[in-house]
Amino acid sequence: MSLDIYADQPLLFYTVATAIVVVGVSLLLAIVRVPGVWVPIRTWLVMLPIALGALWIDELFVRQPAWTILVAVVSILAFKEFARVTGLYRERLFVVIVYGAIIAEGIAAYLQRYDFFMAIPTWAVLILAFVPIVERRTEGMLQAFALSIVGVVFFGYFLAHLSYLAQSPDGLGYLLYVVLMTQLNDALGFIYGKTLGRHRWTPISPNKTLEGSLLALATTVVLTFLQAPIAFPWVPPAGVLAAGLIVGIGGQVGDLTMANVKRNVGVKDFGHVLPGHGGLTDRVNSLMVTAPAFAHFMGFLFGGFPT
């Protein structure tokens, strides 16, 4: 594939590349006959058009809020899964405040109000601190307060970086790279683990293998260098390497962070809305780490993150 025709058109490039990867991976898996992969692939065939479609709406009709709305809706539904699994959902006032913080972060991102975007988590936590006082309760309040802070930070602030990047003239390549490569890194870890994995390395996620994790990281770094001329051509090689490491390592950190939550509450998945994947939280957990880490490291050092 010649990259010249995709110069200054990262969305077109990633749309075409995604279609090629999905078809290629499907054919490869059909040949090697890896068990249990067709259900998640069918789910990807629904999720990818929705995500790319929202970005195309914004691209074609100029500054439409389709992507921002999609991120906010996914964040709210994912947090709802988290709240149900952890028992926080019974504390409705805490949950409503977190919902409000998620919506506020989306609005701040869409309006490119970096001051509000950075301040909202602080104010949300301060408001949460009033809940036990207003309800005049102590039992269970510390746990509910702590879980709500996780909701504000991980589901509100961290995921909202995906909306903020979309508003930058230079940020679309960043956004497409971090979203699609984070998801591909997860898929590669699963595929490598199924086919080549021999050594399990963490009780937090017993299915993770050392071979799968390392091979996924190495492949992500290589693919990052291959797509850098489209995603972020102004970034020097050291920055490209950093981007690959952030996504390759950060994605696994995010996955393990939420896996630790699941192990503590005794569930396999956060939900069942995505066949073969679990819940929405199971799908966006890696982005909770890669999105903010990538946005701040790459954006502030090499541009593309509006302030």
Ordered mean pLDDT values, 10 residues apiece, the chain (307 residues): 66 91 76 70 88 93 90 98 96 98 96 93 98 94 97 98 86 92 91 83 85 93 95 94 96 94 92 90 96 91 73
Structural domain contains residue 174: no
Residues 292 and 159: beta-carbon distance below 8 Å: no
For residue 101, tell me if it sits in a domain. Answer: yes
Q: How far apart are CA 184 and CA 78, in angstroms?
A: 20
Task: Answer whether residue 94 is part of any domain.
Answer: yes
Number of compact structural domains in the chain: 1
Kindly state whether residue 74 falls inside one of the protein's structural domains. Answer: yes
181 Cβ contact list (under 8 Å, min separation 6): 220, 223, 224, 227, 247
Q: Is residue 59 part of a domain?
A: no
Residue 210, burial from CB neighbour count under 10 angstroms (0-12, 13-18, 19+): middle
Amino acid at 220: T
Domain assignment present for residue 195? The answer is: no
- Residue 262: inside a domain: no
Instruction: Please check whether residue 29 lies inside any domain of the structure.
Output: no
How far is 43 from 51, CA to CA, in rounded Å? 13
Q: Which domain holds residue 77?
A: 65-167
pLDDT at 292: 96
Q: What is the pTM of this model?
A: 0.92
**Cα 171 from Cα 192, distance rounded (Å):** 31
- Nearest Cα to 171, choosing from 11, 44, 21? 11
Give the per-residue pLDDT at 7.
60
pLDDT of residue 127: 98
Phi, psi (degrees; rounded to nearest 5) at 136? 55, 50
